[in-house]
């Protein structure tokens, strides 16, 4: 099994992404290639499949002008590396104008749009000039690192499997209150809201509760109670009472 390499190249039209991609020892995913003439959806689906390929060796060309667009693309394809290719706007216009393409005018407009939308909040690294150097630059912090489905199940973490999702739905259907703080859980609250619904493992995964647990080992918990308990502790943290401190003053 080779090392999984999925490189995402972001930049405006005419930036030279295709030239860079073709210089790499990887399979190129370029939306402009005739095999993707069926449209963006087909192309995107092919990229999403890359995420679950443990041996993927690919480079994908995307526009990705904003941090959020890049984060989405990187997550979708499970990219191991991401780079921005941004020459000056003039260079892009020049390159786009010298292409044998019918959509030259569209290209010029898209270059302008790209630069207008561009943000660098994610600190995505710039293409360093060679694959030799690029290989040592890991994708920026904040991006979801790829988790290949097979690896995940091998590690014993059941979340993500169909059986786990079924069990989770059963807990949501059968329980109404957080088993820790005993408050009613509003199941319509968005994920990560402190009072949103979660399923709590009575035996944490990190303590050997691997595989999909039986029904009696999982309970409904609010997000704050579940996250406070953490993976390694069986009991919630007990804080020192403030009244004790006040008494001693
Ligand atoms: Zn609670």
Fold of domain 5-134 = Rossmann fold (3.40.50)
Domain spans of the chain, in order of start: 5-134, 156-229
pLDDT digits 0-9 by tens, 165-194: 899 999 999 999 998 899 999 999 888 788
Distance 232 CA to ligand 1 centre (A): 18
Distance 227 CA to ligand 1 centre (A): 10
Distance 82 CA to ligand 1 centre (A): 39
Distance 201 CA to ligand 1 centre (A): 14
pLDDT digits 0-9 by tens, 20-55: 999 998 999 998 888 888 888 899 999 999 988 888
| Secondary structure in 3-state letters for the chain | CCCCEEEEEECCCCCCHHHHHHHCCCEEECCCCHHHCCCHHHHHHHHHHHCCCCCCEEEEEECCCCHHHHHHHHHHHCCCEEEECCCCHHHHHHHHHCCCCCCHHHHHHHHHHHHHHCCCCCCCCECCCCHHHHCCCCCCCCCCCCCCHHHHHHCCCCCCCHHHHHHHHHHHHHCCECCCCCCECCCCCCCCCCCCEEEEECCCHHHCCCCCCCHHHEEEEEHHHHHHHCCCCCCCCCCCCHHHHHHCC
pLDDT at 232 over 50: no
Distance 53 CA to ligand 1 centre (A): 38
Distance 195 CA to ligand 1 centre (A): 7
Residues, CB within 5 angstroms of ligand 1 (ion): 178, 180-181, 222, 225
Q: Among 32-41, 155-164, 192-201, 232-241, name the one with the lowest average pLDDT.
A: 232-241
pLDDT digits 0-9 by tens, 72-126: 898 888 888 899 999 889 998 888 887 766 677 788 899 999 999 999 888 888 9
């Amino acid at each position: 099994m080779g090392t999984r390499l999925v490189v995402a190249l972001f930049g405006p039209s005419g930036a030279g992404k295709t030239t860079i991609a073709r210089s790499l020892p990887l399979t190129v995913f370029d939306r402009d290639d005739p095999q993707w003439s069926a449209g963006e959806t087909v192309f995107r689906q092919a990229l999403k499949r890359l995420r679950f390929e443990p041996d993927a060796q690919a480079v994908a060309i995307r526009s990705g002008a904003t941090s959020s667009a890049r984060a989405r693309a990187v997550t979708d394809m499970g990219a191991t590396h991401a780079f921005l290719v941004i020459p000056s706007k003039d260079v892009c216009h020049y390159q786009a104008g010298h292409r044998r393409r019918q959509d030259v005018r569209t290209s010029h407009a898209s270059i302008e749009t790209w630069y207008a939308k561009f943000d660098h909040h994610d600190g995505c690294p710039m293409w360093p000039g060679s694959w030799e150097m690029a290989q040592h630059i890991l994708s920026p912090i904040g991006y979801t690192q790829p988790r290949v489905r097979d690896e995940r199940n091998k590690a014993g973490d059941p979340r993500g499997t169909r059986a786990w999702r079924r069990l989770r739905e059963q807990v949501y259907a059968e329980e109404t209150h957080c088993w820790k703080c005993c408050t009613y859980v509003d199941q319509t609250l968005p994920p990560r809201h402190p009072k949103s619904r979660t399923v709590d493992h009575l035996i944490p995964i990190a303590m050997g509760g691997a595989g999909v647990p039986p029904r009696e080992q999982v309970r409904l918990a609010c997000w704050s109670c579940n996250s406070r308990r953490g993976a390694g502790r069986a009991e919630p943290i007990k804080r020192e009472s403030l009244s004790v401190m006040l008494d001693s003053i």
